Amino acid sequence: MKVTLFATCLVDMFQSNVGKATVELLEHLGCEIDFPTAQVCCGQPSYNSGYVNESKEAMKTMINTFSHADYIVSPSGSCVTMFHEYEHIFKDDPIWGPKAKDLASKSYELTQFIVDVLKIEDVGARFKGKVTYHTSCHMTRLLGVKKAPMILLSNVKDLEFTELPGKEQCCGFGGTFSVKMAQISEQMVDEKVAHVEETGADYLIGADAGCLMNIGGRIERNLKPIKVLHIAEVLNSR
């Protein structure tokens, strides 16, 4: 099966390990990876700040870049949610509307793709350690992917899972919110980190680069002994 990878700008620039793990994992599951190099940012940072028109060119670039794909897969729930949002943004546009709809219909978050499309619940991973999992807001509430990451993690050998208190509570990232409302964001991420600490887990896992960068950045600043990993990295360990 040919899979077109939407890496996201955060992964491309800052978290290339996540991209590598995603590629290797999907290949391990029998997919052939295609990476269109014309892909840019999905436009979410400016769009969410209210700059809708300024964001549209980036969206159109993405629609064109991925028009050839059968399946678009991304290791970021939030960015996939944005792809789905295009459909609403261009709904009154006779040219881009149908294209945006087509894009949304074939875009999947990584774990969602593995469970719902590939119909695989056990990727054959082995990961030794005590982990907890943060459910990202856009992925769970807006994209509606709740079970897939849990199913996949539950089948990872040697992995000791512990539930994160308040797991559905926002970590305080929110794109530009994290800098625009830095003081509030700090309180939110601190509560998140405190909850992670409460679990006694050695690893915090997530499926969204933005949230992980936020929580991870705070953990690192406060020198907490917790490692932050993307779910692709865990599912790709053997």
Task: List residues binding another protein (CB under 8 A).
Answer: 7, 9, 11-16, 19-20, 23, 35, 37-41, 43, 45-46, 48-55, 57-58, 60-61, 65, 137-138, 141-142, 168-170, 172-189, 191, 213-214, 216-218, 220-221
Question: Whole-angstrom Cα distance, residue 219 to residue 236?
Answer: 24
Judged by CB, which is closer to another protein: 170, or 234? 170
- 160/213 with CB nearer another protein: 213
Nearer to another protein (CB atom), residue 20 or residue 101 = 20
- How near is the Cβ of 160 to another protein at its closest, in Å? 26
Least gap, CB of 131 to another protein (angstroms): 21
- Give the nearer residue to another protein in terms of CB position, either 160 or 165: 165
The DSSP result for 96-163, as a single string, is HHHHHHHHHHTEEEHHHIIIIIS--S----EEEEEEEE---HIIIIIS---HHHHHHHHTSEEEEE-P
Nearer to another protein, 23 or 159 (CB): 23
DSSP codes joined into one string, 1-16: -EEEE---HHHHHT-H
69 CB contacts (<8 Å, ≥6 apart)?
4, 34, 36, 106
| Token pair belonging to 168 | 């559905």
Q: 60 or 159, CB closer to another protein?
A: 60
C-beta of 22: minimal distance to another protein in Å?
9
Q: In angstroms, what is the minimal distance from the CB of 30 to another protein? A: 18
Closest distance of CB 155 from another protein, Å? 26
Nearest residue to 200 (alpha-carbon basis) of 132, 149, 153: 132
| Residue 201, both tokens | 């887990």
- Residue type (1 letter), 182: A
Least CB distance from residue 50 to another protein, whole Å? 3
Instruction: Give the 3-state secondary structure percentages of the chain, helix then strand then coil, rounded to 5.
Output: 50, 15, 35
Nearer to another protein, 110 or 159 (CB): 110
Report how far residue 72's alpha carbon sits from residue 3's, in angstroms, rounded to the nearest whole number. Answer: 6
List alpha helices for 8-69, DSSP H: 9-13, 16-28, 44-48, 52-65
Where does residue 177 rank: exposed (0-12), middle (13-18), buried (19+ CB within 10 A)? middle
* Least Å from the CB of residue 121 to another protein: 26
